[in-house]
């Protein structure tokens, strides 16, 4: 429940004595959700390598703390971490409260945390639909909405939405996840146009398969995507390397690997209904093999 003690942010940065942190009044910070592993962790490292202070968010405080310690030891930046569930309605307020209390200006927002879901819609466990929509859409848009006003006031900021190539095409057997990423694409590009006059850049990162534990973390059959992943996946480090540079050059849509770019091009040649039909056939053959 939002606001209860159980969901209060675990402010692990406070384990570092205040005097040891070099953060000064209003110091800029890159906020990365889902920063404890996978693409989010690599993005946090990439920002740290470019001397950005980091505010990391994920649910597992212990894992977050270990990653924060590792980044602190390798890069000369401040690393703050908040253990919280971005799906909680109060999460944006908790993040803003922490940033205010620590005198941090969130000048970069990386909206990376998401939930995976796979399987035909009638077989999904009860509640999955709401959970995936909440994690991948509602919490993402609410956090962007909460952070945006201060960026607009300062006439400066970068927002990176982590979408997916799955958002470009209908994905039978993966319909909800794919549809949430389609929503994000539309939302991010609309926001980009709205924010451009105020000096705030909005970019959308659309990876193809990436070698992380993501598809093992949600609901559904994991075999198909895990087999595909081994064949074609990019590393999270490569994705972060490309994404950082493209974000800084204000690219609208970032497709971070040659394989993903080839797939993206291929999907433009076919009617979406034909793609859906092909993907359905392919998914069924993979699941049954
Ligand atoms: N991997 C791929 O093949 C792939 C392809 C295209 C797009 N993407 C997108 O890339 C993004 C990251 O994926 P990934 O592969 O890096 O995933 P991952 O390795 O599973 O990492 C997910 C991160 O998000 C955190 N997280 C999950 N739910 C959260 C919640 N409710 N509140 C706060 N933090 C939460 C996790 O930590 P906790 O569990 O401790 O909270 C973890 O740090 C997602 O948006 C995904 O849709 C991934």
Q: CA–CA separation, 131 vs 139, rounded Å?
A: 10
* Of 110 and 228, the one with more pLDDT: 110
User: pLDDT tens, 159-180?
Assistant: 999 999 999 999 998 899 999 9
Distance 140 CA to ligand 1 centre (A): 12
Confidence (pLDDT) at 280: 85
* Bridge partners (DSSP) listed for residue 81: 56
**Centre of ligand 1 from the C-alpha of residue 176, in Å:** 16
Where along the chain do its domains lie?
A: 5-288
Residue carrying the six token digits 């401040």: 78
Q: In the predicted model, what is the mean pLDDT of residues 139-165?
A: 97
Q: What is the pLDDT of residue 254?
A: 98
Neighbours of 217 (CB within 10 A): 13
Give, to the nearest 10 degrees, the angle between helix 139-154 and helix 91-101.
30
- Read off the pLDDT of each residue in 45-56 and give the average, rounded to a whole number: 98
Which strands make up the sheet holding 27-33, listed edge to edge? Answer: 10-11, 79-83, 53-58, 27-33, 104-111, 157-162, 200-205, 253-254
- The pLDDT assigned to 12 comes to 55
Q: Regarding predicted confidence, which is higher, 287 or 48?
A: 48
Q: How far apart are the C-alpha atoms of 111 and 128, rounded to whole Å? A: 21
Nearest CA to ligand 1 atom 44: 114
* pTM of the entire predicted model: 0.90
177 is catalytic: yes
Q: Yes or no: is domain 5-288 CATH 3.40.50.720? A: yes
User: Buried b vs exposed e over 35-65: b needs ≥16 C-beta within 10 Å?
Assistant: bbbbbbbbbbbbbbeeebbbbbbbbebeebb
The residue that leads in pLDDT, 242 or 217, is 242
Query: What's the gap in Å between 112 CA and the centre of ligand 1?
Result: 6
Per-residue pLDDT of 82-134, as tens digits, reads 999 999 999 999 999 999 999 999 999 999 999 999 888 898 999 999 999 99
Q: Which is the closest atom of ligand 1 to the Cα of 39?
A: 16
- Of 74 and 232, the structure prediction assigns the larger pLDDT to 74
Share of the chain above pLDDT 70, in %: 85
Determine the Cα–Cα distance for residues 145 and 142; give it in Å rounded to an integer.
5
Per-residue model confidence (pLDDT) at position 223:
52
Residue 15 has pLDDT above 70, yes or no: no
Whether the CB-CB separation of 221 and 279 falls below 8 Å is answered with no
The one catalytic residue among 177, 187, 214, 244? 177
Residue closest via CA to ligand 1's atom 36 equals 34
Give 235-271 pLDDT, tens digit per residue. 999 999 999 999 999 999 999 988 889 988 988 898 9
Could you tell me the distance, in angstroms and rounded to a whole number, from the CA of residue 146 to the centre of ligand 1? Answer: 21
Q: Which protein residue's CA is at the shortest distance from atom 20 of ligand 1?
A: 214
The DSSP-derived string for 144-193 is HHHHHHHHHHHT-EEEEEE--GGGTS--TTSHHHHHHHHHHHHHHHHHHH
Residue having the nearest C-alpha atom to atom 18 of ligand 1:
214
Confidence of residue 281 (pLDDT cuts 50, 70, 90): confident
| pLDDT tens profile 23-49 | 445 899 999 999 999 999 999 999 999
């Amino acid at each position: 429940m939002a606001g209860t003690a159980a969901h209060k942010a675990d402010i692990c940065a406070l384990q570092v004595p205040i005097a040891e942190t070099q953060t000064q009044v209003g110091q800029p910070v890159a906020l990365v959700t889902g920063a404890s592993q996978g693409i989010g962790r690599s993005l946090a490292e990439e920002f740290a390598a470019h001397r950005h202070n980091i505010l990391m968010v994920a649910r597992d405080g212990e894992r977050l703390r270990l990653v924060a310690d590792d980044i602190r030891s390798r890069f000369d930046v401040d690393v703050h971490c908040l253990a919280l569930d971005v799906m909680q309605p109060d999460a944006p307020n908790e993040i803003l409260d922490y940033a205010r209390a620590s005198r941090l200006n969130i000048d970069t927002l990386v909206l990376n945390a998401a939930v995976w879901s796979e399987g035909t819609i009638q077989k999904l466990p009860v509640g999955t639909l709401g959970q995936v929509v909440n994690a991948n859409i509602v919490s993402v848009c609410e956090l962007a909405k909460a952070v945006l006003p201060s960026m607009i006031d300062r006439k400066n900021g970068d927002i990176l939405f982590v979408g997916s190539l799955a958002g470009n095409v209908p994905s039978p057997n993966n319909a909800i996840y794919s549809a949430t990423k389609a929503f994000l694409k539309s939302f991010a590009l609309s926001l980009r146009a709205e924010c451009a006059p105020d000096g705030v850049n909005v970019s959308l990162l659309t990876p193809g398969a990436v070698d992380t534990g993501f598809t093992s973390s949600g609901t559904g059959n994991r075999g198909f995507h895990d087999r595909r992943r081994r064949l074609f996946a990019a590393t999270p480090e490569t994705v972060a390397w490309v994404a950082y540079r493209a974000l800084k050059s204000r690219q609208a849509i970032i497709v971070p690997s040659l394989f993903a770019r080839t797939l993206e091009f291929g999907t433009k040649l076919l009617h979406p209904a034909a793609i859906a039909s092909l993907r359905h056939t392919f998914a069924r053959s993979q699941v049954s093999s």
